[in-house]
């Protein structure tokens, strides 16, 4: 009979693989000895493990829920994204402008450089996840071995969720918890 993994098992694996520091992982100390199934965040063990990585700021999610304010929603997503990189990237001056052709443009500064994405907002109050999917490789640096990765569990992608780490470490973590990571190339 196998024992259900605990939150500590996920955290210890992330620390051992250098996906997160012990200091950053302390945020989940109250959950350490609890079974992973009690943590929440998914029906499958692998989904919950991804949720733990997100809570450890190894990953983030572009939320698909409706938001009160689109700019604040994108600012929140970028805050979570940049927290994962420990200062490797910065995002500032987030705004949405309407183009001359009538579509929305998400404009922001990435490490000081102006970036513009065409975005579509369902119903006017949902973040567009597609530009993140298409551009995650821009949020890294070729001199740094860490990369962003898409998440796949049992052949099903977890849309809007991304993790950041060295590819070998991500693959080792994935092997342990039944997660496949599709790693982006350097930007």
- Note whether residue 72 is domain-resident: yes
Q: For residues 10-27, give the mean pLDDT.
A: 95
111 and 47 belong to one structural domain: no
91 and 114 belong to one structural domain: yes
Cα–Cα dist 184/187, whole Å:
8
Range of the domain at 87: 65-139
70 and 56 belong to one structural domain: no
Cα–Cα dist 41/39, whole Å:
7
48 and 23 belong to one structural domain: yes
Q: Report H helices in 63-118.
A: 70-84
Residues 19-51 as b/e (b if ≥16 CB within 10 A, e otherwise) read: bbeeebbeebeebeeeebeebeebebbbbbbbb
Is the Cα torsion angle 81, 151, 119, 67 positive or negative in sign? negative
45 and 108 belong to one structural domain: no
Instruction: Please report which confidence band the pLDDT of residue 1 belongs to, taking 50, 70 and 90 as the band edges.
Output: very low
75 and 117 belong to one structural domain: yes
Alpha-carbon Rg of the chain, whole angstroms?
A: 17
- Note whether residue 1 is domain-resident: no
So what's the pLDDT on residue 60? 95
Cα–Cα dist 36/93, whole Å:
38
Q: For residues 4-11, give the mean pLDDT.
A: 91
- Note whether residue 2 is domain-resident: no
135 and 69 belong to one structural domain: yes
Structural domain count, the chain: 2
Instruction: Please report which confidence band the pLDDT of residue 126 belongs to, taking 50, 70 and 90 as the band edges.
Output: confident
Please state which of the ranges 6-15, 37-46, 158-167 shows the lowest mean pLDDT.
37-46
- Note whether residue 99 is domain-resident: yes
74 and 132 belong to one structural domain: yes
* Average pLDDT of every residue of the chain: 91
Q: For residues 58-70, give the mean pLDDT.
A: 88
Instruction: Please report which confidence band the pLDDT of residue 13 belongs to, taking 50, 70 and 90 as the band edges.
Output: very high
pLDDT at residue 145 tops 80: yes
86 and 135 belong to one structural domain: yes
pLDDT at residue 44 tops 50: yes
Tell which residue, 153, 144, 142, 140, has the closest CA to residue 182: 153
168 and 119 belong to one structural domain: no
């Amino acid at each position: 009979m196998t024992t259900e993994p605990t939150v500590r098992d996920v955290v210890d694996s992330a620390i051992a693989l250098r996906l997160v520091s012990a200091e950053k992982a302390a945020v989940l100390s109250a959950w350490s000895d609890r079974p992973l199934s009690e943590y929440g965040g998914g029906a499958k063990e692998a989904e919950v493990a991804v949720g733990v990585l997100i809570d450890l700021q190894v990953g983030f999610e572009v939320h698909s829920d409706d938001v009160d304010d689109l700019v604040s929603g994108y600012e929140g997503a970028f805050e979570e994204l940049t927290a994962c990189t420990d200062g490797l990237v910065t995002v500032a001056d987030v705004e949405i402008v309407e183009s001359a052709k009538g579509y929305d443009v998400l404009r922001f500064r990435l490490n000081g450089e102006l970036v513009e994405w065409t975005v579509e907002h369902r119903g006017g109050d949902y973040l567009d996840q597609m530009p993140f999917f298409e551009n995650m490789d821009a949020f890294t640096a070729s001199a740094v071995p860490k990369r962003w990765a898409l998440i796949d569990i049992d052949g099903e992608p977890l849309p809007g969720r991304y993790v950041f780490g060295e590819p070998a470490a991500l693959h080792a973590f994935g092997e342990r918890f039944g997660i496949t990571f599709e790693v982006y190339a350097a930007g």
